Amino acid sequence: MTEMAAPRDYYGKALVELGKKNENVVVLDADLSSSTRTSMFAKAYPERFFNIGIAEQNLIGIAAGLANLGKVVFASSFAMFISGRAWDQVRNSVVYPKLNVKIAATHAGITVGEDGATHQALEDIAIMRVLPSLNVLVPADAIEAFQMIKYAAATPGPFYIRMSRGATPLVFKDSDYIFELGKSKILVEGKDVAIIASGIMVDVALKAAAELKKENIAATVVNLSSIKPIDVETIVKVAKATGCVVSAEEHSVYAGVGSAVAEVLALNYPVPMEMVAVQGVFGESGKPEELLDKHNLNVNGILEKVRKVVARK
C-alpha cells in the first residue's frame, strides 16, 4: 500500500516547526486557514498569525509591509485567489521591492474537485513565473512540500509555492530528501523518452514509465519542481539522452510547466515534444479522479503522448 499525504498538511507542520525555531516567522491567511492548514500555526503561535479576512489584495499588501520590517512572512490562500485576485499586489508590492514574502498557495488545479472552475487555478504558474526573480515551486509530494517550505523560509526573497488539495502518493520515501532551488531530480532513467512532470503528475509519470516498460519503451522521469529558476542543464541532458520529451502538469497547456520546458528546449536543444496538460479550458465540478480522467491527466494520457512523441523522433 502506497503511503499517501496532502502537501498542505505538511505545509502546516513545517510552519509550526519554523515558528518554533524563528520568532520572526509570521503567517497570514484570508479566511481559509482551516483549508490551507495555516490554522496549525495559528493554534501554536496565535500572536504571530494574522487573519486578514476575505481580502487577498490586502493579504499580500500586509505581507509586504511585515516583510518590509524584517519578518519572514508566509501568506496563504487558494491558488486561484492569491495568484489571480492579488497579482498586481504580488508584482508591485512584493516582487518588485524583493520582499521576503512566501506565498504558499493551496488547492491549485482541477483536483480542487467539487467546488468547480471558479476555484480551480489552471493559470497560476503562467502568471507567476513571468514575474522577474520570483521563485516558483511545485512540490511533487508532501515530503517535498515540507522541504520547500523550510528552504523558502531560509532563503531571502519572494517565493510562490503551489500545492494541490488532495492526498497523493509519496514520491520521496526518504525523509533525508533535500530540495535544491533550480535543480530537477531524475527519478527514473531510460533512453527512449523523457517525461518531465510536476506536482501530482510526477507520481502519474512514474506509473506511466512502469507501463511503458511493457511496451519496451524505456522512459526517463524528471521531477520538475523548481519551475523558476528552471534546471536548464538537466532538461537539456535528458533531451539529449532520449531525443524526445513529454511534459505533464496539472495546469493549462498555455504558459505553464510544458511551456517552460519548451522554452528551454527551443533555445538549447530542440527535440520533438508533447504536453500533457489541461487544454486551455476551464474545469468544472466533479470528483478529482473524474476530472483528471476527463482531461487525460492520467497514466493513459501520458502513454498516448509518449507513443506520439517517440514516433516523431
Interface residues toward other proteins, by CB under 8 A = 26, 47-48, 50, 52-53, 55, 57-58, 60-71, 88-89, 91-93, 96-97
Separation of CA 309 from chain center: 25
SS3 185: strand
Shortest reach from residue 159's CB to other proteins, in Å: 17
Q: Which of 47, 176 has the CB closer to other proteins?
A: 47
Catalytic residue among 23, 47, 56, 250: 56
Task: Record the cell numbers describing residue 270, joined without a space.
Answer: 530542440
Shorter beta-carbon distance to other proteins: residue 48 or 307 = 48
Comparison of 70 and 214: residue with beta carbon closer to other proteins? 70
Helical ranges in the chain per DSSP H: 7-21, 33-36, 39-44, 56-68, 79, 87-89, 124-129, 142-154, 201-214, 232-242, 257-268, 288-294, 299-311
Nearest approach, Cβ of residue 148 and other proteins (Å):
24
Of 31 and 263, CB closest to other proteins: 31
Q: Which is nearer to other proteins, 89 or 147 (CB)?
A: 89
- Nearest Cα to 209, choosing from 198, 227, 197? 197
d(CA 219, CA 269): 19
Task: Report the relative pairing of strands 219-223 and 185-188 from DSSP bridges.
Answer: antiparallel
Dihedral Cα 209, 234, 5, 274, nearest 10 deg? -50
CB of 57 to other proteins, least distance (A): 4
User: Which residue's C-alpha cell is 515540507?
Assistant: 146
The dihedral sign for the CA sequence 175, 178, 183, 189: negative
* Neighbour tally for 43: CB within 10 Å: 12
The vertex-33 CA angle with 63 and 81, nearest 5°, equals 60
Residues 69, 24: contact at Cβ < 8 Å? Answer: no
Cβ of residue 137: shortest distance to other proteins, in angstroms?
Answer: 23
Question: What's the min distance (Å) between Cβ of 133 and other proteins?
Answer: 14
249 belongs to the catalytic site: no
Q: Is residue 78 within 8 Å of residue 109, measured between CB atoms?
A: no
What is the torsional sign of CA 232, 233, 235, 240?
positive
Shortest Cβ 100–other proteins spacing (Å) = 12
Which of 101, 138 has the CB closer to other proteins? Answer: 101
Active-site amino acid positions: 56
